Amino acid sequence: MRFFAFVLILFISLAAYSQETQYVSDRLDITLRAGKSNEYRIIRSLISGTPLTVLEVDEEAGYTRVRSPQGDEGWVLTRYLVAEPVARDRLEQAEKQIAKLKEEKTKLQQQFGETSTTKSSLEKEHRALTSENQKLETELNRIRQTAANALTLDSENQAFKQRLVVLERERDVLKQQNEALQDRSSRDWFLAGAAVLFCGMLLGFIIPKMRFKKKSDWGSL
């Protein structure tokens, strides 16, 4: 029963370490061996910072069975493994990250400069458009005023034309009346002249007879 419990605990420990990743310490290079002692053959050397997949841990022997990035499996001394990347690799990653951040900073500065230039250009264009809009508004108001004046002048012109038509009609009526008066005056003068002529002829005819009659009357006396 105790043996079964030991095997179960060992199995649980192996399962817990099956997905763990540890790294070769940055103090030295180590060897990957076929067994849990220096007597076993060396499979390969592992340089500092090499990531290894933990497959099994023998705490009593002080060895850990691992798999290398190349797929080789073997045993290494547990004391040479650390849970985090070595300082050299962390430094290299930090330097790469810093370089990347600097590059991004440079790009952001360039974009900021381009944005500032674009903003200045847009502001200048906005001022130009605003000025042009004001000019157009002024011109539009002038055109509206001119149109209003033109409408007023057209209305006045129409009124003048109507007044002119009325005056022309009145002139025609007065002309007709004047012609009628002239015709009447000429007729009256003609009739007066005819009457005078008739009276003169009548007098010329009557007066001689009256004289002749008087002479006769005197001769009879």
pLDDT single digits (tens) 98-151: 778 878 888 888 887 777 788 888 888 888 888 888 888 888 888 888 777 777
Domain annotation covers residue 220: no
Whether 65 and 101 map to the same domain: the answer is: no
User: Higher-confidence residue: 138 or 183?
Assistant: 138
Answer whether 65's CB lies under 8 Å from 75's CB.
yes
User: What percent of the chain clears pLDDT 70, i.e. is strictly above it?
Assistant: 75
Q: What residue numbers bound the domain in which 95 lies?
A: 86-178
Q: Please check the confidence at residue 27 and state whether its pLDDT lies above 90.
A: no
Whether 65 and 7 map to the same domain: the answer is: yes
Whether 70 and 100 map to the same domain: the answer is: no
Q: How far apart are CA 140 and CA 147, in angstroms?
A: 10
Tally of domains within the chain:
2
Domain annotation covers residue 207: no
Whether 24 and 56 map to the same domain: the answer is: yes
Domain annotation covers residue 25: yes
